[in-house]
Amino acid sequence: MSRLTPCFEALRNSGRKAVIPYIVAGDPTVATTVPMLHSLVAAGANVLELGVPFSDPMSEGPVIQRGHERALDNDVSLSQVLDMVAEFRQEDQTTPVVIMGYANPVERMGYADFAAACAAAGVDGLITVDLPPEEVGPLNVELQKVAIDNIFLISPTTPAPRISTITANASGFIYYVAVKGVTGAGHLDSSDVSMHLDLIRAETTLPVCVGFGIKDAESATAVGAMADGVVVGSALIDTMAGALEAGGSLNDGVNKAVALLGSIRTGIDNM
Amino acid sequence: MTEMISPDVFASVPDPDGRFGPYGGKFVAETLMSALADLELVYRDLSCDPDFQKEFDSDLAHYVGRPSPLYEASRMSDAIGGARIFLKREDLNHTGAHKVNNTIGQALLAKHMGKKRIIAETGAGQHGVASATVAARLGLECHVFMGAEDIKRQALNVYRMKLLGAEVIPVTSGSKTLKDAMNEALRDWVTYVDNTFYIIGTVAGPHPYPMLVRDFQSVIGREARRQSLAMTGKLPDALVACVGGGSNAIGLFHPFLGDEKVAMYGVEAGGHGVETGQHAAPLSAGTPGVLHGNRTYLMQDKNGQIMETHSVSAGLDYPGVGPEHSWLKDIGRVNYVAANDDEALTAFHHWTRTEGIMPALETAHALAYAEKLAADMTPDQHIIVNLSGRGDKDILTVAAIEGIEV
């Protein structure tokens, strides 16, 4: 069992919601990533989502695309991302880490080698945007051998009968994509989210977290009232990149993003 | 060639999951899965509906101008002194390239699905022009994503699209070429999936696109087969076509795949030379991976990042290739070779001067290889080259390379 299941059980028992930040590994620099993960935990993150940079991030909006580009300018590879997780694990053995990315770097490494490297580094779960259940079989076999959760996206366009196909392949948690579109886009519709969460919960007891379109404490609180957790990505990266573009130091950029995460934590805890 | 392959094999792909052997599939974000399933259902129904086929054939005849001629390039064949070279004149289609065969077909699907907005990606601009054209004809809103680099290289086609009423959206991410235009089109589709039909311009992308684009383009090979029999009394000894994504090549090759005596050559863009790494020849020098919804040969680095490509022709400047080509390579049915920038430019001039036919720079890659191939064959043999597009769009590029101000 990965760290995800006990983490969500503990949250559920204490009536709390998971706050899940997403950052791109190696953005803006390789050196900031692991310290930033620790800071995010200190600010109230329960699960960490670490993006694996890819040359063609097809589901990302402009903010996260630029994060991928900055990380690739720093030559960050999938194996380096796993090294960062291993480094994070030296000081933190409890916070679940999920890596999120695209299929090709994983294909290139090879499924068996990838699964083994994830296990060795202390990864708990994987989200691969372009590996739907139809394509995931051979990778899932390898992940199950090392007890790493495979987390799937369900979207507003997922037909109800398909939800059970997805939940049958999933473990850890379900990631509900609250808006049609790329990351960081649009405004989420709470009643639509609520309806879909009901459909998903009819099929699975896995925790359901919601992402895409969560920008601040207010939108996080609205979703947190319905979901088991919220994922915040673009808003953090935009805050960090904005501070750097305004001439701020690396510390300044990281601190502002961590502060935003902290405000989301406070908002959700006080709802 | 490997051992004999049963002709039935070629009719059996893709399988119901969209696979050509290990290639193809549906590697996309969940948001698009139901749109692909809808498209697949609609296409399965319409492709065996005689009324739909009649509508498609009628448009090809009266709007596109099919059948396109098969022309014997006598002067060039005499000059080479080897095999006789015939050209399948897709350049004479409305809009000047083979691309329109597919956009007509997909626009009919869009119409049947009630989609009012179409999007397309384009490299050289031929597919963008063909999409803007069918959108104008059907009164659909059209948005074309094009790499900022390609917009510079293909100013004439950009203006043509605008005249046709399309919005051309410059893509400034990544290498600013065709692959990035496709990323951006996929992002748009995810966002406006309810009312939008994505007209993919080549035999790549997620299932069912490689299958349906192949089916629409196969009119090229079906005609060429009949025309060859009528003109020469036999099938050709060899087929030659350029391969970027590979739609003109699969269109010519597919109806001949079961004819084991017909040799086939897909010509990739060798750029500055395959050995330099600056090229767009994934079948010649790439490795399998996943990009844009399918598993196929790609140009990628050791970490699985997609590499920037180089070709003098914007339409071949793509790091992937249609999954059926990857399969045809592995089973040995088609030979994939490369022609570099210089060879293509030489062929561009040579054919323009010798036959009075100015080919697109993409097509010039196929012609360059066909000249070499013909020279090693005999005058009783014949080759069909897919003359996939006309070269008017490229004259500014050629002039710039040669330092000539137009």
Does B210 sit behind a cis peptide bond, omega within 30 degrees of 0 on the bond before it? no
DSSP B130-173: HHHHHHHHHT-EEEEEEEHHHHHHTHHHHHHHHHTTPEEEEE-S
Do B207 and B238 share a domain, yes or no? no
Do B295 and B354 share a domain, yes or no? yes
Do B235 and B261 share a domain, yes or no? yes
* B99: annotated active-site residue: yes
Inside any domain, residue B299:
yes
Do B202 and B237 share a domain, yes or no? no
pLDDT at B2: 46
Find which of B33, B38, B301 to mutate to test the A interface (most A CBs within 10 Å of its CB). B33
Distance CA A4, CA B235 (A): 63
Query: Which one of B157, B182, B213 terminates a domain?
Result: B213
Q: Taking CA atoms, what residue in B is nearest to A78? A: B303
Nearest-neighbour CA in chain B from A81: distance (Å):
12
pLDDT at A213: 86
- Of B175, B228, B313, B388, the catalytic one is B388
For chain B, give the mean pLDDT: 95
pLDDT above 70 for B4: no
HSE-CB for B64 with a 13 A CA cutoff: 31
Residues of B whose CB is below 8 A from A72 = 305
Inside any domain, residue B9:
no
Name the A residues in 212-271 with CB < 8 Å from any B CB: none
Do B186 and B91 share a domain, yes or no? no
CA distances from B170 to A79, A235, B121, B167 (A): 34, 25, 10, 10
Residues of B whose CB is below 8 A from A107 = 288-290, 295, 304
pLDDT at B285: 97
Do B34 and B176 share a domain, yes or no? yes
Q: How much is the average pLDDT of B157-163?
A: 96
pLDDT tens for each residue of A17-43: 999 999 999 999 999 999 999 999 999
Q: How much is the average pLDDT of A75-93?
A: 98
- Best mean pLDDT range from A58-62, A235-239, B190-194: A235-239
Do B186 and B296 share a domain, yes or no? no
Q: Do A152 and B30 touch (CB under 8 A)?
A: yes
pLDDT tens for each residue of B229-260: 999 999 999 999 999 999 999 999 999 999 99
Domains and CATH numbers, chain A: 4-266 (3.20.20.70)
Do B47 and B78 share a domain, yes or no? no
Domain count, chain B: 2
pLDDT tens for each residue of B93-147: 999 999 999 999 999 999 999 999 999 999 889 899 999 999 999 999 999 999 9
Q: How much is the average pLDDT of A244-255?
A: 96
Query: Which one of B213, B234, B252 terminates a domain?
Result: B213
- Of B26, B99, B176, B179, the catalytic one is B99
pLDDT tens for each residue of A192-229: 899 999 999 999 999 999 998 899 999 999 999 999 99
Chain B contacts to A (CB-CB under 8 A): 17, 25-35, 173-174, 179-180, 183, 186-187, 190-194, 287-293, 295, 298, 300, 302-306
Nearest-neighbour CA in chain B from A163: distance (Å):
11
Distance CA A256, CA A204 (A): 37
Closest CA to A123 of A18, A259, A233, A25: A25
Do B346 and B260 share a domain, yes or no? yes
Q: Taking CA atoms, what residue in B is nearest to A155? A: B31
Inside any domain, residue B154:
yes
Do B55 and B158 share a domain, yes or no? yes
Nearest-neighbour CA in chain A from B85: distance (Å):
40
Domain that holds residue B133: 20-60+99-213
The alpha carbon dihedral of A67, A69, A73, A75 has a sign of positive
Secondary structure (3-state) at A22: strand
* B388: annotated active-site residue: yes
Inside any domain, residue B114:
yes
DSSP-assigned beta bridge partners for residue B272? none
Inside any domain, residue B56:
yes
Q: Do A159 and B34 touch (CB under 8 A)?
A: yes
pLDDT above 60 for B1: no
The alpha carbon dihedral of A140, A145, A147, A148 has a sign of negative
Please tell me what DSSP assigns to residue B262.
Answer: S
Complete edge-to-edge strand list for the sheet that includes strand A97-101: A149-150, A125-128, A97-101, A48-51, A18-24, A229-232, A208-211, A174-177, A152-154
Distance CA B227, CA B223 (A): 6
The structure tokens 């990739």 sit at B268
| Both structure tokens of A70 | 């900055």
Q: For B7-16, B189-198, B304-313, B319-328, which range has the lowest pLDDT when averaged over its residues?
A: B7-16
Question: Longest Cα pair distance anywhere in chain A, in angstroms?
Answer: 50
ipTM confidence:
0.95
Complete edge-to-edge strand list for the sheet that includes strand B141-147: B167-171, B141-147, B117-122, B196-198
Q: Do B300 and A65 touch (CB under 8 A)?
A: no
Q: Do B31 and A185 touch (CB under 8 A)?
A: no
Q: How much is the average pLDDT of A63-91?
A: 97
Query: Which one of B213, B244, B275 terminates a domain?
Result: B213
pLDDT at A180: 85
Inside any domain, residue B390:
yes
Do B249 and B383 share a domain, yes or no? yes
Residues of A whose CB is below 8 A from B297 = none
Do B27 and B109 share a domain, yes or no? yes
pLDDT at B3: 53
Least CB–CB distance from A132: residue in B26, B187, B305: B26
pLDDT tens for each residue of B283-337: 999 999 999 999 999 999 999 999 999 999 988 989 999 999 999 999 999 999 9
Residues of B whose CB is below 8 A from A69 = 173-174
Inside any domain, residue B11:
no
Inside any domain, residue B4:
no
CATH number at residue B202: 3.40.50.1100
pLDDT tens for each residue of A122-173: 999 999 999 999 999 999 999 999 999 999 999 999 999 999 999 999 999 9
DSSP A234-257: HHHHHHHHHHHHTT--HHHHHHHH
Nearest-neighbour CA in chain A from B36: distance (Å):
11
